[in-house]
Amino acid sequence: MKRFAGILAAVMLLTGTAWAAEPADEAQPEEELPEWIFDDSIIPTGAEGLDIPAPSAILMEKETGEVIFEKNADERLRPASVTKVMTILLIVEAVESGALSLDTTITCSANAAGMGGSQVYLEEGEQMTLRDMLKCIVVASANDAAVAVAEHMAGSEAAFAAMMNERARELGMSSTNFTNCTGLPDDPEHLTTARDIAVMSRELISHDWIKEYTTIWMDSIRNGEFGLSNTNKLVRFYEGATGLKTGFTDSAGHCLSATAQRDGVEFIAVVLHCASSADRFESARTLLSYAFGAYTVASPMPADILPPIPVSLGRADYVQPVLESAPKLLVRKNDAGSLETSVELEKSLAAPVEAGQTVGTLTVTLNGQVLSETPIVAPDAVERLTFWDVLRGMLKTLVCGEK
């Protein structure tokens, strides 16, 4: 049965018929999508032209977190399997903290095996590495794998949901409440918003290695006997797609958190409660294509090398100032060449100087409007000379003529 289901999924995708790998409501072939839905040449000329069918949506740039477009972005809705963005984030963070390894063995419980909906047909007692479980969750949206990992990490799905809510609070997702790790059952208390989904999606894709999973179109598990296919068609048909997660139930509608990167700039488009799969992909593609056509991320630097700043009564005569961080600004492509920078620096400093102490400011303006102010800091501490240091210096000057 497992092998047959996996082969069937692969065959249906290759023949152009998508095998639904989402909750039970979507356990029938989706409608075929016309090619124009993924046509990147159809780009609105301005945000006012973004007439998308999605009832709720948001478009965000990853590096700055700036929102370019929103439509009912704070309406609390059911996210279906897009829930798994947070599930995956917690797994990724556990791996990076050392709490888990991708080689950790996960054992499927009876509860996880009985999840239904989108699944890889895990059996009670079946074991897989976290690596394969993560692949199942990310690519096939497997509810059984998600619950198995959640139980391994937290002891129960309910305890894992509490971890999800805690992480959501840490990220400022104030309109989100998770009651499970999958989007099923379709709990009326399991709610979030397009804005909150964009926030957690941004956090997830900041861990670049997860894209090794989120960009998989087709793969397999169980030594190649069970095929996996990605329900996010943008991964196959949209240039630069990096993920991220689809979802569907009757009450949630067709949902999608879509991410894509080109020329070092990455955007996040979240669409919720769409009437059809075609609507969700059209909406996400329209948002992403608009962003890539109109915006870029600039990192303007000082026009000249920052000069050293003299330090009085210090163990070092100067500090070499540096930018606290490189400024990152989301700007329209037409404006990128018009950015201007100016630098203000302290003329001198008196010891002691602390490492990280602000010694100036880099200001970026566009047509006279201030876009950002970045602190310029001292990279190292400079201790103040003691009385004996001063005395020794005076003696050297008197005896040896040294300064």
Domain locations along the chain = 2-297, 309-400
Is 81 marked active-site?
A: yes
Cis peptide before 44 (omega within 30 of 0): no
Lowest mean pLDDT among 6-10, 24-28, 104-108, 303-307: 24-28
* pLDDT, tens digit (0-9, with 9 covering 90-100), for 161-209: 999 999 999 999 999 999 999 999 889 999 999 999 999 999 999 999 9
pLDDT, mean over the chain? 89
**Other CB atoms within 10 Å distance of the CB of residue 15:** 8
* pLDDT, tens digit (0-9, with 9 covering 90-100), for 244-260: 999 999 999 999 999 99
Catalytic residue of the set 118, 141, 229, 372: 141
Query: Using CA atoms, how far apart are residues 154 and 383, in angstroms rounded to an integer?
Result: 49
Lowest mean pLDDT among 14-23, 262-271, 322-331: 14-23
Does the pLDDT of residue 105 top 80, yes or no? Answer: yes
Query: Using CA atoms, how far apart are residues 83 and 67, in angstroms rounded to an integer?
Result: 21
Does the pLDDT of residue 289 top 50, yes or no? Answer: yes
Query: Which residue is associated with the tokens 């069937």?
Result: 8
| 342: three-class secondary structure by DSSP | strand
Q: What are phi and psi of 390, to 5 degrees?
A: -65, -45
Instruction: Check if the beta carbon of residue 235 is closer than 8 Å to that of residue 217.
Output: yes
Query: Which residue is associated with the tokens 């969750």?
Result: 137
Catalytic residue of the set 62, 71, 84, 233: 84
Is 328 marked active-site?
A: no
DSSP letters, 43-111, are --SSGGG---S-SEEEEEETTT--EEEEESTT--B--GGGGHHHHHHHHHHHHHHTSS-TT-EEE--HH
Quote the pTM value. 0.87
What topology does CATH give the domain 309-400? Answer: Peptidoglycan synthesis regulatory factor (PBP3), Domain 2 (2.60.410)
Is 277 marked active-site?
A: no
Class of the domain covering 2-297: alpha beta
Does the pLDDT of residue 396 top 90, yes or no? Answer: no
* pLDDT, tens digit (0-9, with 9 covering 90-100), for 134-158: 999 999 999 999 999 999 999 999 9
Catalytic residue of the set 56, 62, 81, 233: 81
Going by pLDDT thresholds of 50, 70 and 90, the confidence category of residue 11 is very low
